[in-house]
A and B are shown apart, each in its own frame.
Chain A
Amino acid sequence: MRLLAAYSFRNVIARRLTSTLTIIGVALVVFVFCAVLMLSHGLRQTLVDTGFDDNAIIIRKASQTEIQSILPRDMANVVRADPAIAPAPDGGPFASGELMVLINQPKRGSNDPSNVPIRGVSPNSMTIRPNIGLVEGRMWKPGTSEIIAGAKVARNFQGCGLGESVRFASRDWTVVGVFETDGSGFESELWGDYEQLAQAFQRPIFSSITVRVPGEAKFAALRERLENDPRVTVDVKREKEYYAEQSNFTRTYINVLGLIISVIFAAGATVGAMITMYASVAGRTTEIGTLRALGFSRFTVLLTFLVESIFMGLIGGSFGVLAATFLRQFEVSTTNWDTFAELAFGFETSWGIVVGGFCFAVAMGVVGGFLPALQASQVRIIEALRAK
């Protein structure tokens, strides 16, 4: 078997041009395949990382996002009074009523305007999400038109960097700090004082209330109570679950389109592999005859050619996966159609994607190589030896 493997290997080298073309083809397909999965994974990762296990978010019933949700103050008070909510450091309930609006702001570079979410927050908002930290500047001062910007917004949008200012709701808002949150969706937002923003936008309501409810039992109790309380019409969700849902539409889009493209590409590359392998078989009829005459079985011949094809698939797959991992340096910024707001996220790898990429490459090798290998195994010894 080792001999045959070496034979396959040398053949790939001997037919440099066609082998290279086939390998490039497979590499290209695996690259696209991985890129699509990485993008989808990155989008999900970003949104799943937004939010905490112990937090729950409350929005108006049937509104799918915070932007559509409206909770009047009296409803908010009912929610805040729920006994399941953990106490905050200041003694009150650990709850943060927030206002979420979209502002239209031009991007850096392209000048294309896009929707940036701006969140009106309270001092509790920072402590209820412990991974949020300022990396530059300072926190906004209460009662002023100061805001802090998520790192990705600060990078991608005009006027959102430290020291710059954004104009909306008839005021200029100065960015006094930049925050990071381990790459979560909050980094695509601007944060300001709830009281100031509610006044400026004339929206004296909350879009959502985020509360700390440790443990499944307390969360279930909170949900049960609030969803059955006639005074409020709300949906109660785990913060993580809520944010994960925010990627459904865009992710479906990426996945469906990506799948179609990958399948088409794969068909192209498989055909390429098949052409190469058929040529390889045709060019080596005499050799095959010799092998058979020496006593190698039909099955061994079939295996040899299949191995050669899989081998090319693997080389192509390795290049494809390797090239795809370089995509991790790029950040994609696009509108999340679920929320209508701009969201920046990256290409994220996982072992599943790497293994998937290789499986895909091997599959192309098997499919592309099987028929030619079968043909090789059917060669008749005498005719083969007589061939020129």
Chain B
Amino acid sequence: MRLLKIIYRNTLRHWLRTSLTVFGLAIAVVAFIVIRTTIDAWYAQSEAASPDRLVTRHAVSLTFFLPLAYASRIEDVDGVNMVSHASWFGGIYVEPKNFFANFAVDHTTYLDLYPEFQLSDEERTAFMSERNAAVVGRKLADRFGWQVGDRVQLQGTIFPGDWELVIRGIYTGARENTDESSMLFRWDFVDERMRSESPGRAGYVGTFIERIDDPSRAADISSKIDALFLNSIAETKTETEEAFNLSFVAMAGSIVLGLKAISILVIGIILLVLGNTMAMTARERVSEYAVMKTLGFRPIHIVGLIFGESLFIAAIGGGLGILLAFPLGALVQIALSAFFPVYNIAVVTVLLASLAAFVVGLLAAVFPAIKAVRTPIVDGLRIVD
């Protein structure tokens, strides 16, 4: 118990240095949490995926469209109980930097396939009955201050021209990781205009989404769907929604890898700052430790003092960092909302950060402790610094 008191007092002896160290630690812990959360954000889409949904796209690449006529053939596949479709629209709102995901979807089935997009019954009815109706996620609506009834004009990049839509609903996510920053509108509205302006492109959709009875049969059903269109003009590739979403993470490749590397480097920084402090502390107290040894304190006590102080500082710094990470994370979420629809600090991340702070606290004390124990009493008493 007395040792604890000494540790506490020791920590406060150089209050300026201790606060700086705590500050340095807190910054590194915040950085660690923010970077880990950014990595998680890349994977958020695939984690939000439902195991009973499959996605069918053109085998050559996502940029190719599939004939709508495929829908009825897919529907006949054993195990598929519902088919919907969505097309990446790529519309620009006022200017390119306002980027957000917008899809032309089959209004009759899409919302049933994605029950996590929650809308009121009136909003649903409005979406069904009006050709240029659109629904947007809560976060997207907040970002641009949109309300139900607002008119929004998108400039088409893939589908040329200006497209005027009316917001008829604002959906909220059923789960924490549901994407609340997309816009959905009716595919038939788009197709109608394509039919008159460039008939060759009418009747095509980007991807089909299927709901299946039994998630364990996903692979089997996927290959059955793809077999239907083998050697046709538009061969397909079907995979689970999760695998489909993960392919985007794979495309980011090096960026995610780089972030992972940096999150480890951050731990290195913490170690340097705390290690520095502990090394200095131990050096300054060599004579003190010698006195304690003379008084009969065992090496284990000295080691305990050094480790205790290091862990104490690490705990305060780590704790402060974790506290600060939440407001900062909220800021980053706003800044990167165009890139990441979902940005939540995971419990695992907080635990990892705590673990990192703890390990760093231990490591930083190793060298000073060895040195303190090894310095002979006589030398210790003689040192002047």
Partner of B269 from A25, A283, A340 at Cβ < 8 Å: A25
Docked complex Cα distance between A217 and B99 (Å) = 35
Q: Mark A51-81, 1 if CB is under 8 A from B, else 0.
A: 0000000001111100110100000000000
B31 nearest CB neighbor, chain A only? A264
Contact A271–B20 (Cβ < 8 Å)? yes
B169: shortest Cβ distance to chain A, in Å?
Answer: 27
Q: Which residue, A67, A112, A249, A271, has most C-beta atoms of chain B within 10 A?
A: A271
Q: With an 8 A cutoff between CB atoms, is B268 at the interface?
A: yes
Docked complex Cα distance between A107 and B253 (Å) = 11
List, in ascending order, chain A residues with CB within 8 A of B231's CB.
170
Q: With an 8 A cutoff between CB atoms, is A322 at the interface?
A: no
Contact B157–A32 (Cβ < 8 Å)? no
Contact B60–A104 (Cβ < 8 Å)? yes
Within 8 A of B (CB), among A302-344: 332-335, 340, 342
B249 nearest CB neighbor, chain A only? A112
A114-B250, A268-B24 known; A275 vs B157 contact (CB < 8 Å): no
Contact A268–B269 (Cβ < 8 Å)? yes
Contact B280–A275 (Cβ < 8 Å)? yes
Docked complex Cα distance between A256 and B60 (Å) = 33
List, in ascending order, chain A residues with CB within 8 A of B237's CB.
104
A233: shortest Cβ distance to chain B, in Å?
Answer: 7
Contact B384–A388 (Cβ < 8 Å)? yes
Docked complex Cα distance between A301 and B198 (Å) = 78
A115-B61, A278-B17, A388-B384 known; A268 vs B253 contact (CB < 8 Å): no
Docked complex Cα distance between A64 and B335 (Å) = 23
Q: With an 8 A cutoff between CB atoms, is B27 at the interface?
A: yes
Contact B158–A256 (Cβ < 8 Å)? no
Q: With an 8 A cutoff between CB atoms, is B279 at the interface?
A: yes
Q: With an 8 A cutoff between CB atoms, is A135 at the interface?
A: no
B235 nearest CB neighbor, chain A only? A170
Contact A256–B253 (Cβ < 8 Å)? no
Q: Mark B371-385, 1 if CB is under 8 A from A, else 0.
A: 000000000000011
List, in ascending order, chain A residues with CB within 8 A of B367's CB.
17
A72 nearest CB neighbor, chain B only? B198
A28-B268, A274-B20 known; A283 vs B284 contact (CB < 8 Å): yes
List, in ascending order, chain B residues with CB within 8 A of A274's CB.
20
Q: With an 8 A cutoff between CB atoms, is A269 at the interface?
A: yes
Q: With an 8 A cutoff between CB atoms, is A169 at the interface?
A: yes
Q: Mark A233-257, 1 if CB is under 8 A from B, else 0.
A: 1000000000000001100011011
List, in ascending order, chain A residues with CB within 8 A of B31's CB.
261, 264-265, 268
B273 nearest CB neighbor, chain A only? A272
Q: With an 8 A cutoff between CB atoms, is A21 at the interface?
A: yes
Docked complex Cα distance between A84 and B356 (Å) = 65
Q: Mark B252-291, 1 if CB is under 8 A from A, else 0.
A: 1111000100100110111011011101100010000000
Contact B254–A333 (Cβ < 8 Å)? yes
Q: With an 8 A cutoff between CB atoms, is A24 at the interface?
A: yes
B322: shortest Cβ distance to chain A, in Å?
Answer: 15
Contact B61–A103 (Cβ < 8 Å)? yes
Contact A275–B251 (Cβ < 8 Å)? no
**Number of residue pairs across A and B with beta carbons under 8 Å?**
163
Partner of B61 from A62, A104, A256 at Cβ < 8 Å: A104
Docked complex Cα distance between A218 and B175 (Å) = 57
Contact B160–A32 (Cβ < 8 Å)? no
Docked complex Cα distance between A95 and B259 (Å) = 43
Contact A271–B23 (Cβ < 8 Å)? yes
Partner of B157 from A68, A104, A248, A268 at Cβ < 8 Å: A68
Contact B279–A102 (Cβ < 8 Å)? no
A264-B30, A279-B280, A342-B251 known; A257 vs B21 contact (CB < 8 Å): no
Partner of B276 from A61, A249, A272, A283 at Cβ < 8 Å: A272
Q: Mark B1-24, 1 if CB is under 8 A from A, else 0.
A: 000000000000010110011011
A20: shortest Cβ distance to chain B, in Å?
Answer: 9
A338 nearest CB neighbor, chain B only? B96
Contact B250–A18 (Cβ < 8 Å)? no
List, in ascending order, chain B residues with CB within 8 A of A264's CB.
27-28, 30-31, 34, 266
Contact B280–A115 (Cβ < 8 Å)? no
Docked complex Cα distance between A248 and B14 (Å) = 48
Partner of A340 from B23, B34, B63 at Cβ < 8 Å: B63
Contact A115–B272 (Cβ < 8 Å)? no
List, in ascending order, chain B residues with CB within 8 A of A228's CB.
none
Contact A115–B251 (Cβ < 8 Å)? yes
Contact B157–A265 (Cβ < 8 Å)? no
Contact B284–A101 (Cβ < 8 Å)? no
Docked complex Cα distance between A137 and B349 (Å) = 51
Contact A62–B385 (Cβ < 8 Å)? no
List, in ascending order, chain A residues with CB within 8 A of B255's CB.
253-254, 334
Q: Mark B38-77, 1 if CB is under 8 A from A, else 0.
A: 1000000000000000000001111110000000000000
Partner of B272 from A101, A114, A272, A388 at Cβ < 8 Å: A272
B58 nearest CB neighbor, chain A only? A104
Q: With an 8 A cutoff between CB atoms, is B233 at the interface?
A: yes
Contact A21–B275 (Cβ < 8 Å)? yes
Q: With an 8 A cutoff between CB atoms, is A22 at the interface?
A: yes
Q: With an 8 A cutoff between CB atoms, is A267 at the interface?
A: yes
Q: With an 8 A cutoff between CB atoms, is B355 at the interface?
A: no
B267: shortest Cβ distance to chain A, in Å?
Answer: 11
Contact A64–B96 (Cβ < 8 Å)? yes
List, in ascending order, chain B residues with CB within 8 A of A115's CB.
61-63, 251
A387: shortest Cβ distance to chain B, in Å?
Answer: 11
Contact A101–B251 (Cβ < 8 Å)? no
Contact B21–A275 (Cβ < 8 Å)? yes
Q: With an 8 A cutoff between CB atoms, is B219 at the interface?
A: no
Contact B253–A335 (Cβ < 8 Å)? yes
Known contacts A25-B272, A268-B270; 11 further A-B pairs (Cβ under 8 A): A18-B279, A63-B158, A64-B96, A102-B63, A104-B59, A202-B233, A233-B160, A260-B34, A271-B273, A272-B276, A334-B255
Q: Could you jot down 13 A-B contacts, CB within 8 Å?
A: A21-B272, A28-B265, A29-B269, A104-B62, A249-B99, A253-B255, A267-B24, A278-B17, A279-B280, A334-B252, A335-B251, A335-B252, A340-B63
Q: What 9 A-B pairs have minimum CB-CB distances, sorted nearest first? A: A271-B24, A112-B250, A335-B251, A264-B31, A102-B61, A268-B269, A21-B276, A104-B61, A279-B280
The interface of chain A, by Cβ under 8 A from chain B, is 17-18, 21-22, 24-25, 28-29, 32, 60-64, 67-68, 70, 101-104, 110, 112-115, 168-170, 201-202, 233, 248-249, 253-254, 256-257, 260-261, 264-265, 267-269, 271-272, 274-276, 278-279, 282-283, 332-335, 340, 342, 388
